[in-house]
Structure 1
């Protein structure tokens, strides 16, 4: 079977995600959701009214100091996925004292991965410039992603040029949390074309090997790259487990020892579905990684509300 099948959102995953989202709206909400915020000017040529949007999940109450910030990037083989499926991640993080930003980005075949990476960088740039309005600390901004989103989260942390071309002198990402990441080395993967159907990856990545390499975080990490928190399923796909291990080894050679955990028995899809439960091992490690988190107050003083409407 091909990696393409594994990374696309299968019908069963969509069904489970929709159930989780429905359950979220049936429960009391510990935070505030600011939905469908445009991170690209709506007047800009090429603005995509669906894909150039993000949701902010902020703790409901004020705190003495700003909260850490996590930007979550969904997976889906660079061809599918939607931020609305992952509201449970935003709410779980907000409940634990983290401002979460869950983003959309354009997908193939409409665009290829370089444009997706630019969209994600623009979403991070918007977050860096505006998250203080929602109680977040722009100096403690982290990326997080599952599957293809994990590869993009790693690329944002490693490739400073994505932000330099947008006018940021320094990369605002302070670290990345990778949940069963795909695409860490698409240059190697696409040159080998080991599996039936791998030509489908040429839709999001195109035929140019220079692009494959440029979009692979493996070739951007340096001694100055911020830290990584990396989780891999013990029963995930061989391409993910092997590329994650090689990524870990390169970080070690550069003087970084990433926090690396293999979760026994976990397959690729359950690696993201487990984030529905706030006490799971990924959140436990994440809170230490981005911390210290601010202790949520016990009073009912509401957090400041920016101009965007809250839900």
Structure 2
């Protein structure tokens, strides 16, 4: 999983291009959206409440109020130990511009918590959307999750493992589909057993040392006939491990009869798979809008 070796420098590598995009975005037509920022999705009196990480931003279209818009909850990447929602404002604005209510979230990071707790946070953000998104014009019956890199792995996990919502008191998984953009961590059980690269031990910090946990947080092993439809995107020049695990995941979806689409984007590397989302005509948006049945605006 060579992308893990690269991502030791990911915070700096991601920060510069994304910051430029954010600044430019503030002065483009993507401002045709309404942002409600820093909404707490965990009650402040909860023992694990984090005032910074348990926050989300909602981006809603500013045109004539239309109720029942599709909802996309975006989960950022960053190697499970970095990243924040503000870096991905351009995705929220682009989605809102095209008729989708977007929810861009923070979640707690390693080393403060491990991946199971991160997935718990993401599930709580989705639950918040199910309970409150109608206040922003969204349809709680059409909630989709989307993520890039580590966020893609978390999105896949929530879509395939209903237990994250059962323990929150929900009688069903509210996720209707998932959009996975160069997802990482779909099969950490396999990866962490191999330890192919010299610095791989650092991934025992977010994932722990128990193989039972590695398997539990790997979406591949939760896929069954009840899994919702998915869009999978992978860059032609992404890290070999991501390409392999995404294809393995798509094959599992096929085996159990889950509806999915797999698209390899020519010449794209891992970081470009998310920065390309600055442009609203991007193929990922085109496929996403069709997938969630949004109206192009």
Query: Is the TM value for this pair above 0.5?
Result: yes
Query: Is there any run of 5+ residues in structure 2 with no aligned partner, and where?
Result: none
> Could you tell me how far 1:171 is from its partner in structure 2?
0.1
Q: Structure 2: how far apart are the matches of 1:34 and 1:143?
A: 19
Aligned pairs (5 A) from 1:291-306: 291=293, 293-294=294-295
Match of 2:234 in 1: 232
Contact 1:177 1:229 in 2 (8 A): yes
Match of 2:14 in 1: 13
Match of 2:263 in 1: 261
* Secondary structure at the counterpart of residue 26 of structure 1: coil
Q: Structure 2: how far apart are the matches of 1:235 and 1:40?
A: 38
2:173 corresponds to 1:168:
no
> Could you tell me how far 1:24 is from its partner in structure 2?
1.8
TM-score when normalising by structure 1: 0.92
Match of 1:89 in 2: 91
Q: Structure 2: how far apart are the matches of 1:97 and 1:55?
A: 16
Q: Structure 1: how far apart are the matches of 2:116 and 2:66?
A: 39
| CA RMSD, 1 decimal | 1.3
Match of 2:142 in 1: 140
Q: Structure 2: how far apart are the matches of 1:174 and 1:249?
A: 20
Cα shift readout 1:134-182 (whole Å, capped 9, x = no counterpart): 0000101000000000000000100000000000000000000000000
TM-score when normalising by structure 2: 0.96
Query: Is there any run of 5+ residues in structure 1 with no aligned partner, and where?
Result: 297-311
> Could you tell me how far 1:44 is from its partner in structure 2?
1.7
Contact 2:236 2:266 in 1 (8 A): yes
CA 1:295–1:76 in structure 2 vs 1: closer, same or farther (change >3 Å)?
A: closer
Match of 1:53 in 2: 55
Match of 1:222 in 2: 224
* Secondary structure at the counterpart of residue 176 of structure 1: strand
> Could you tell me how far 1:235 is from its partner in structure 2?
0.3
**Residue correspondences, number:** 295
2:37 corresponds to 1:35:
yes
| Bigger helix share | 2
Cα shift readout 1:40-71 (whole Å, capped 9, x = no counterpart): 01222221111000000000123444210000
Q: Structure 1: how far apart are the matches of 2:265 and 2:27?
A: 30
Match of 1:23 in 2: 24
